[in-house]
Amino acid sequence: MTTAEPQTALQGYYAMHAKIYDATRWSFLFGREHILQRIAGIANPKRILEVGCGTGRNLLSLRRLFPLAEITGVDLSSDMLQVAQQKVRNVTLVQQSYDTPVSGDFDLVLCSYALTMFNPGWEKAIQTAAQDLRPQGLMGVVDFSHTQSATFRRWMGVNHVRMEGQLWPQLRTEFATLVDIRRPAYAGLWHYGMFIGQKK
Ligand SMILES: C[S@@+](CC[C@H](N)C(=O)[O-])C[C@H]1O[C@@H](n2cnc3c(N)ncnc32)[C@H](O)[C@@H]1O
């Protein structure tokens, strides 16, 4: 794992949450396995980047789905990456804020419940992902979408998540859309979304 500075409020948040992340997030980060299955039905990527890979839950699934792929995970939080490092072997982990391309030759960039936490920076991260993809490469995003509840939206804001459906229009602009789905969670308290697009 390569490392970089500095400390931000989000890094402080994940310094506290890294230890309980895997035990808690299964109950509300929906669609993570589904999007990987959808991607596997479309492509067999050889070089994969997960942006905001956190504790490596998806890296492990990607390793199982694509055993021969070169897999890289990027994350701002060294605490989250330390958990990932224990969990999954044979992947490259990089600590950085994702605002510059990693290598520009990936077949798949995955962003799972990451972009809604890039505040500011989600627009730049989507553009950076496009730069990181080879021609015809796939961008896969699963994330919170929107909520009708102002109280819940405020609570998610306290937890660094912006939940205003902001991702999908820019993803449709930046990539050729293959999959674009919104689904309700907890009887519609919020909606989450899945997007798979191809580099234009
Ligand atoms: C909710 S977690 C998602 C982790 C994992 N992708 C998953 O699906 O379980 C969001 C992750 O994005 C990371 N993150 C937030 N802002 C970032 C940035 N600007 N650059 C890279 N990673 C960032 C956080 O440190 C955190 O690990």
Q: What is the CATH number for 96?
A: 3.40.50.150
Return the pLDDT at 5. Answer: 53
- Among protein residues, the one with the nearest Cα to ligand 1's atom 1 is 113
45-98 pLDDT, tens digit each: 999 999 999 999 999 999 999 999 999 999 999 999 999 999 999 999 999 999
Q: Is 181 inside a domain boundary?
A: yes
How does the average pLDDT of the chain come out, rounded? 95
> How many Å lie between the centroid of ligand 1 and the Cα of residue 178?
24
Q: Is 145 inside a domain boundary?
A: yes
> How many Å lie between the centroid of ligand 1 and the Cα of residue 11?
10
Place of tokens 């496009």: 130
Percentage of residues in the chain having pLDDT higher than 90: 94
Which residues are registered as beta bridge partners of 175? 199
In short, whether 74's Cβ falls inside 6 Å of ligand 1 is yes
Identity of the residue numbered 168: W
CA angle 115/116/121 to nearest 5° reads 60
Q: Is 143 inside a domain boundary?
A: yes
Confidence of residue 39 (pLDDT cuts 50, 70, 90): very high
Please answer whether residues 133 and 174 qualify as being in contact, where contact means their C-beta atoms are separated by less than 8 angstroms: no
Return the pLDDT at 7. Answer: 73
Q: Is 3 inside a domain boundary?
A: no
Q: Is 1 inside a domain boundary?
A: no
Which domain, by its residues, includes 72? 9-199
> Which has the minimum average pLDDT: 1-15, 24-38, 98-112, 134-148?
1-15
Tell me if residue 17 falls in helix, strand or coil: helix
> How many Å lie between the centroid of ligand 1 and the Cα of residue 112?
8
In short, whether 77's Cβ falls inside 6 Å of ligand 1 is yes
